């Protein structure tokens, strides 16, 4: 049973939770809570270490035993230590170190998301969750965007990380991977999304909360789209705006596929 903050495994978890550099060097990140760890395990992501505390729910204990059968390294911890390790206000009683994977990029993508300079990890995670639900095939992360595998982003993603290809790229690489696609920039000044043909193969750029899209993003985009709003509303949160636009893409494509030819 782990009770000390000086324990090597506890120190590893703490470093992965608090430092992006450690996540990169270890090629691992932390998922907290029964549901997220279940999502990782069910999606085939390797669990390097599982730590749980006394008082874990029955569903959580079933997960512990299922992972024990897979020969995962499992440690029991005091509730106090797990709370110290947890990135949440109240620990859910279980966390896991997950080995990071790079899911394969689709061969012929027709719907990509580029979250540009999204610095709030919660907003980034929400965009990833919406992207998976709306049918985005891959997410390309440009420079100056938050770490998609930070604790807050992983929680907000609600399992999207384990099924959606997410790749960090520079703009030259992004241009290569988005070749042949129409590149649309979400902007408050642009053509209404309701009046834009979003059935075409496209990459959607959503700019950051504070300063919007970067100069590289603006130079790459060939069209701007806006969400029609009441004149009293200046703008939407980046995660909300991106989600609205991604589901408008999904709506238009579903309507087109259901129309008789």
Q: What is the CATH number of the domain that holds 158?
A: 3.40.1280.10
Residue 35: pLDDT band with limits 50, 70, 90: very high
- Can you give the pLDDT at residue 236? 82
| Mean per-residue pLDDT of the chain | 94
- Average pLDDT of the segment spanning 90-103: 93
Residue 211: its pLDDT value, please? 80
Angle between helices 34-42 and 58-69 (to 10 degrees): 30
Are 132 and 213 members of one domain? yes
For residue 63, give the nearest of 92, 86, 94, 109 by alpha carbon.
94
What integer pLDDT is reported at residue 113 of this predicted model? 98
Residue 261: what pLDDT?
56
CB-based contacts of 191: which residues, under 8 Å, 6+ apart? 223, 224, 225, 226
CB 225 within 8 A of CB 192: yes
Residue 106 maps to a domain = no
* 155 & 241 share domain: yes
Considering 65, 99, 133, which residue would you say is the last residue of a domain?
A: 99
State which residues form the domain around 172: 111-258
Give residue 260's pLDDT band: very low, low, confident or very high (50, 70, 90): low
Q: State both tokens at 172.
A: 């030259």
Please enumerate in sequence order all residues whose Cβ is within 8 A of that of 23, keeping only pairs 6 or more positions apart, or say none. Answer: 16, 29, 100, 147, 149, 150
pLDDT, position 15: 97
Q: What pLDDT shows up at residue 259? A: 66
Tell me how far apart the alpha carbons of residues 186 and 207 are, in angstroms, rounded to a whole number: 7
Mark whether 21 and 136 lie in a shared domain: no
Q: Is the pLDDT of residue 219 over 60?
A: yes
For the segment 43-53, the average pLDDT, to the nearest whole number, is 96
pLDDT score recorded for residue 229: 86
Residues 225-238 pLDDT 10s: 999 987 766 678 99
Closest CA to 119 of 140, 150, 147, 158: 147
- Of 70, 99, 128, which marks where a domain is finished? 99
Domain identity same for 211 and 231? yes
Q: Is the domain of 38 the same as that of 157?
A: no
229 vs 47, which has greater pLDDT?
47
Instruction: Please report, rounded to a whole number, the percentage of residues in the chain having pLDDT higher than 90.
Output: 86
Are 116 and 48 part of one and the same domain? no
Q: Are residues 75 and 172 in the same domain?
A: no
Q: Quick one: 116 and 237 in the same domain?
A: yes
Q: Do 239 and 176 belong together in one domain?
A: yes
**Number of domains, the chain:** 2
| Rounded CA separation 120/139 (Å) | 16
What CATH number has the domain bearing residue 65? 3.30.1330.30
């Amino acid at each position: 049973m782990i009770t000390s903050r000086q324990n090597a495994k506890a120190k590893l978890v703490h470093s992965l939770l608090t430092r992006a550099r450690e996540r990169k060097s270890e090629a691992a990140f932390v998922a907290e809570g029964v549901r997220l760890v279940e999502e990782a395990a069910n999606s085939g992501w390797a669990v390097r270490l599982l730590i749980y505390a006394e008082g874990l729910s029955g569903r959580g204990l079933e997960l512990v035993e299922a992972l024990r059968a897979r020969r995962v390294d499992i440690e029991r911890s005091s509730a106090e230590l797990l709370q110290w390790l947890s990135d949440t206000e109240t620990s859910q009683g279980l966390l896991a170190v997950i080995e990071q994977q790079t899911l394969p990029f689709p061969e012929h993508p027709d719907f990509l998301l580029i979250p540009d300079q999204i610095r709030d990890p919660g907003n980034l995670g929400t965009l990833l969750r919406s992207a998976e639900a709306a049918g985005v095939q891959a997410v390309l992360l440009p420079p100056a965007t938050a770490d998609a595998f930070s604790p807050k982003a992983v929680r907000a993603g609600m399992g999207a990380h384990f099924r959606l290809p997410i790749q960090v790229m520079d703009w030259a690489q992004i241009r290569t991977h988005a070749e042949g696609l129409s590149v649309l920039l979400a902007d408050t000044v642009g053509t209404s999304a309701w009046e834009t043909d979003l059935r075409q193969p496209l990459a959607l750029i959503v700019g950051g909360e504070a300063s919007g899209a970067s100069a590289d993003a603006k130079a790459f985009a060939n069209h701007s789209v806006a969400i029609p709003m009441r004149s009293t509303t200046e703008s939407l949160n980046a995660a909300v705006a991106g989600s609205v636009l991604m589901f408008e893409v999904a709506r238009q494509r579903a309507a087109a596929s259901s129309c008789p030819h």
